[in-house]
Amino acid sequence: MKKIFTILAIAFSINVVAQIPTNGLVRHYTFSGNANDNVNNQHGTIIGATLTADKNGNPNSAFYFDGVNDYIDLPLSGLMLNEYTYSVWVLANSLPVSGFTSVISVGASRVGNTQGGDQSICLRSNPSMYGWGSTAYTDPNSALYTYEGIPATTMEWNHITITMSNNVHKLYLNCDLISIDSSLTTVLPYYGNTPEAKIGARETNTNFFHGNIDDVRIYNRALAVNEILALCNEGVVSIEEQKETSSMQIYPNPTNSIITVNIENKANTKGYKIEINNLLGQTVYTNSINSTNNSIDLSGLGNKGVYFVKVLDENNNVVDVQKVIYH
């Protein structure tokens, strides 16, 4: 599906300081070592999901879901909203063979004509609806749907936001508004007869998501464009910002093969080592530091993509970390 418009393209015309919105925030799961809610103490219960690295390579700062039976159960209180925004960072390890998998789901999945359905962010492989998407049921038999329209990419972090207000359902992907559905006349979301709230699965413990999820926010209102822009740019470290603040220099970056890691700003590197992690937080390279300039051939890592280069001291403390793009 063709992008409707790019928020970044209009950012310069918005005379607003890009601050993270807190008005109407009813849940915030940072996943910093646990599944606690930082707003109303509505903590999640972890079922199988395990901690992993987040989009910036910070360890134990996101959750990995195996796509088989992992999920996080959330208290339902305060989530059956007439208007809402769901915001999440997500990385898919694999795509569903058919149908869809649920990233976040609030409500009850549809069973016959007696109950349904949920408000959700999902990953689709339906013939008519591909990619990242969402569902907003308005009665047991009807729903508003938004979707990307093309197969989603795997092993890449994406920021997804959905909003629901006045019968208008919107999907934003990485700052872009890519889909709107206002085709139904029923105004309010419908949550079914036996609603639950889950991250990584649907209410019936089905449609399990395979990948990483981080930084889940739920609001009781539809956020404005500038607020969504602030969320999708939060904590994203650019290559240029790294160069300005880091004591370690990596070049060329991006690269198509070999990088040089320069750590001449460190007076003593005895016992130090370089470690490279992939987006899953897995260590794919490690080696002792023997000089100020260290050459590493990334072609031995296999898959191209985003990696995190870390310098560790003799006690395995992280001295510095930088993102590198291997293309």
CA 99 → CA 4, 58, 170, 315, distances in Å? 25, 32, 21, 47
Residues 6+ apart with CB under 8 A from 233: 18, 175
CB 326 within 8 A of CB 307: yes
pLDDT band at 263 (very low <50, low <70, confident <90, very high): confident
Over residues 42-58, mean pLDDT: 94
Q: Could you tell me the domains of the chain?
A: 5-233 (2.60.120.200), 239-326 (2.60.40.1930)
State residue 119's pLDDT score: 94
Q: Is the separation of the CB atoms in 29 and 62 below 8 Å?
A: no
Mean pLDDT for 130-135 is 92
Question: Per-residue pLDDT for 164 more than 60?
Answer: yes
240-258 mean pLDDT: 73
DSSP state of 325: E
pTM over cut 0.75: no
In the numeric block, the tokens 């195996």 are attached to 66
Rounded Cα distance, 282 and 119, in Å: 33
CA-CA distances (angstroms) from residue 268 to 124, 290, 316?
51, 11, 15
Contact 29/215 with Cβ under 8 angstroms?
A: yes
Average pLDDT over every residue of 190-202:
91
Higher-pLDDT residue of 281 and 36 is 36
Q: How many residues does the chain have?
A: 327
Tokens of 254: 């991006």
Confidence grade of residue 16 (pLDDT, cut at 50, 70, 90): very low
Q: What is the pLDDT of residue 314?
A: 87
pLDDT category, 300, cuts 50, 70, 90? confident
Question: Minimum mean pLDDT among 116-130, 150-164, 196-210, 241-255: which range?
Answer: 241-255
Which value, to the nearest 10 degrees, does the dihedral of the CA atoms of residues 289, 294, 297, 298 take? 70
- Choose the weakest-confidence range: 142-156, 232-246, 282-296: 232-246
Q: Where does the pLDDT of residue 72 fall: very low under 50, low under 70, confident under 90, or very high at 90 and above? A: very high
Question: What average pLDDT does the chain have?
Answer: 85
In angstroms, the CA 252 to CA 257 distance is: 9
Cα gap 250→244, rounded to integer Å: 12
Whole-number pLDDT of residue 222: 97
pLDDT value of position 324: 86
State the DSSP string of 168-237: EEEEEETTEEEEEE---S--S----SS-EEEESS-TTS-S--EEEEEEEEEESSPPPHHHHHHHHHTT--
Structure confidence at residue 7 (pLDDT): 44
